[in-house]
Amino acid sequence: MTLIDWNEDFSVEILQIDEQHQSLIHLINRLYEAVVEEKDPEHLGPILLELKNYAHFHFKTEEECFREWGYPGAEKHLLEHLTFNKNLQLFKKGFESGVEIGVSVRLLDYLCTWLKNHILVSDRPYGVFFKENGKK
């Protein structure tokens, strides 16, 4: 059972980044499965934490590539990363404090929409830039 399926439209044609995007999709799908199966909060919390940590790792990878290759769209892209981290932290705090009962449909919708838009709209241009400059 999946919320997001990887397909080649998501590829930025950089193997390391594509693999990380696939891992993020896998984590979102694990969270979705847990919600659909009505797992208890003790099961959901660790998945949220893993998602937060993996997103941080992935963003760091992208940002290092931006610096190394002088990507001109880096500043705007970094703001998107900061916004995602802030929003995910707000959802996580709501979950941990009990304000959000379980993991809300709102969070899953946010994650799904954000990831698709981020990859297809924001990441693809750096994939083209890196490829044109020899990064694979």
* Residue 82 within a domain: yes
CA torsion sign, 34 to 102 to 40 to 19? Answer: positive
* Residue 115 within a domain: yes
- CA–CA separation, 25 vs 119, rounded Å? 11
* Residue 29 within a domain: no
Summarised one tens digit per residue, pLDDT across range 53-75 is 999 999 999 999 999 999 999 99
Tell whether the model's pLDDT for residue 136 goes beyond 70. no
* Residue 20 within a domain: no
Domain total of the chain: 1
| pLDDT confidence tier of residue 107, bands split at 50, 70 and 90 | confident
* Residue 102 within a domain: yes
Residue with tokens 């949220």, as numbered in its chain: 48
* Residue 113 within a domain: yes
Tell whether the model's pLDDT for residue 90 goes beyond 70. yes
* Residue 130 within a domain: yes
Domain extent at residue 68: 60-136
